[in-house]
Structure 1
Amino acid sequence: MIGALTAAQAMVAATARLRAAGVPDPARDARVLLAHAARIEASRVTLIAPEELSPEIAERYDQLIALRAIRIPVSHLLGEREFYGRRFRVSRDVLDPRPETEILIEAALSEPFDHLLDLGVGSGCILITLLAERTSASGVGTDLSEAACLQASANAVQHQVQSRAEILQSDWFGNIDGQYDLIVSNPPYISLSEMEELSPEVREHEPRMALTDEGDGLGAYRRIAAGVPDFLMPGGRLLVEIGPTQGPDVAALFQAAGLAHTRIIPDLDGRDRVVFARMPQ
């Protein structure tokens, strides 16, 4: 256990411990976890740096660092992850919200929408963010995982959109009715052959069914392409997140399904990130 050290000394020791365990950016994680152990904002860690940690905080910090050293994700230790300026509760039952997905949010918000469908809702970060940003819209989120549906429902309540959000357990379009002017999805797109290349944080601690289709990584897009013509209004938009090499294949699937105006939207690093398509009028 980290002894009677100052906060600064404890952070130095924790950083060294995480670095030895192969954790990326150990200093950042040591700082964030100290703030969590001390129950303060991360921006205030500098203020307590000269102070000796209380035994309670030191023990809590030691436990957090020990868990991070075996590659438990920081978000799971904190119980939340920030996304598009809001904090979402997360657990090992849902995919961690990621900054790259904000590209899909920006694309979705570039045009008006009233009725939204989010396929594979997970934590609810996409559905809830879009409803929070468009207060006149309503939406449905589906997920095959009951635990994910419960997590999304809790986040909808936290962000006060529950009256406009319906969360359904469904295998893609299986339990869906009606039509929508915007359909979005961040489906499992990692191929089986790529799974071993993932970091331990992702491979061992995020839900496998949210990561891979156990095939070539395009299975979810085939399901979406097959079903979307029955649920997307004329002129409605489809936006899906993709892996950086999948843009042309996913665009081709959507074109073959009768969608038009397909285009690939890059992320801030210039990698293909979102495929857009529109239902012809």
Structure 2
Amino acid sequence: MTIRDILTSIRERLQKAGIEDFEYESWVLLEWKLHIDRAEFYMNPNREVKQELLEELEEVLLKREQRVPLQYLMGECEFMGFDFSVDERVLIPRQDTECLVELAVEDIRNVKTQNRCEFNNAADQKNEQKVKVLDLCTGSGCIGISVKKLCQNTEVTLADISEGALAVAKKNAENLNANVTLIRGNLFENIEGRFDYILSNPPYIPSQVIQGLMPEVKDHEPRLALDGEEDGLAFYRRIIEQAPEYLNSNGRIYFEIGAEQGEDMIRLMTDRGFSEVKVHKDLAGLDRIATGIYSRR
């Protein structure tokens, strides 16, 4: 078969399988399995492809037609400019979650800059305490590891109840040379000390909604990381209730939230004593991040 025929076949099969972004994924599969990029395609679209490469492509294409996510098939996903390993033990990092990281990184950098301006001498600056960050429900580790890579003067802890997820997070930390601490436990279980920042993308999809999600999500991504119980707010309630005991004075919390959960989050956080509670929108203009500050009395 020629490159042109192969690309046409991939497009048709992915579209028939109900994959919305079939055009983009066709090019990805062509480059990944056949090592042919767009430039080479347009230069020589009638070049024949070796049979052994076609067999490798067919194996992957069959799985994608069964709606196995492309990121799981490739074993990686780009997030915040870094390549993270992923498999069915963890959620696939989303671009929406980058909004949380960007907000946290900006805040951490601003606070550090303010602190440096208050130092009296170089010795004080050298002894500057690291900003302590907890990434709760870490999954692949994409949030905490990205913060560590982008803010070196941080001490980052990754926590998750899933042993499989922590194995993936550990692999990512090693691959990206990020010195982080990993803890297994149910939310704050086994967590010690206090933190300047708690970052979390917990399960927040109402249980009854999950079956209506696209097959890639409901059939392949871990339900443990999706299911926010009856109203999707169960994990937020637990985290918000316990978080003050694990935050330093003026410690900050950042949540990824569902697009319709903003008002509930403002109420939950305000009722627990958080101040400056805000809901931030994602690139699509939807409510996506809830933040607040806890001032110890």
TM range (shorter): over 0.9
**Partner-residue secondary structure (3-state), 1:109:** helix
Query: Which residue pairs with 1:73 in the alignment?
Result: 69
Which position in structure 2 is the counterpart of 1:202? 217
The change in CA–CA distance for 1:46 and 1:173 in structure 2 (over 3 A counts) is farther
Q: Percent identity?
A: 35
1:229 aligns with 2:249: no
**1:58 equivalent in structure 2:** 54
Letter of the 1:224 counterpart: I
Q: Which amino acid aligns with 1:8?
A: R
Matched, 1:178 2:193: yes
Q: 1:155 aligns with which of 172, 191, 200?
A: 172
Match of 2:122 in 1: none
* 1:24, distance to aligned residue in structure 2 (A): 1.1
Question: Is the alpha carbon distance of 1:147 and 1:269 closer, same or farther for their aligned partners in structure 2, counting shifts above 3 Å?
Answer: same
Residue 130 of structure 1 corresponds to 147
Q: CA deviation at 1:193?
A: 1.8
Per-residue CA deviation, residues 199-223 of structure 1 (Å, 9 max, x unaligned), is 0000000000100133210001011
Whole-Å Cα distance in 2 between the matches of residues 121 and 246 of structure 1? 21
Q: CA deviation at 1:49?
A: 3.8
User: Where in structure 2 are there 5+ consecutive unaligned residues?
Assistant: 113-130
Q: How far 1:65 sits from its partner (Å)? A: 1.2
Task: Kindly indicate whether the alpha-carbon contact (under 8 Å) linking 1:30 and 1:65 is maintained by their aligned counterparts in 2.
Answer: no
Q: State the Cα deviation string for residues 13-68 of structure 1 (Å, max 9, x = none).
A: 11101111111111211211121112466776555644211111111111111111
Matches within 5 A, 1:19-98: 19-39=15-35, 46=42, 49-98=45-94
2:221 and 2:285 map into 1 onto residues whose CA distance is 26
Deviates more, 1:183-192 or 1:7-16: 7-16
Question: How much has 1:133 moved relative to structure 2?
Answer: 0.1
Unaligned 5+ runs, structure 1: none
Write the deviation string for residues 67-113 of structure 1: whole angstroms up to 9, x where unpaired: 11110100011000010111100000000000000110111012226
CA contact (8 A) 2:27 2:37 kept: no
1:116 equivalent among 133, 140, 154: 133
* Secondary structure at the counterpart of residue 107 of structure 2: coil
Q: Please give the secondary structure, in 2, of the residue aligned with 1:68.
A: helix
Higher Rg of the two aligned structures: 2
The residue matched to 2:49 in structure 1 has which SS?
Answer: coil
Alpha-carbon contact 1:31-1:45 (below 8 Å) kept? no
Q: CA RMSD in A?
A: 1.5
Q: With structure 1 as the length reference, what TM-score do the two structures score? A: 0.94
Residue identity opposite 1:217 in structure 2: G
**Corresponding residue for residue 278 of structure 1:** 293
Instruction: Give the length in aligned residue pairs.
Output: 275
Cα pair 1:127 1:141 within 8 Å, conserved: yes
TM-score computed with the length of structure 2 as normaliser: 0.89
For the structure 1 residues 171 and 66, does the alpha-carbon distance in structure 2 shift closer, same or farther, using more than 3 Å as the test?
A: same
In 1, Cα distance between equivalents of 2:220 and 2:50: 31
The secondary structure found in structure 2 opposite 1:118 is: strand
Cα distance 1:38–1:216, how it changes in 2: closer, same or farther (>3 A)?
same
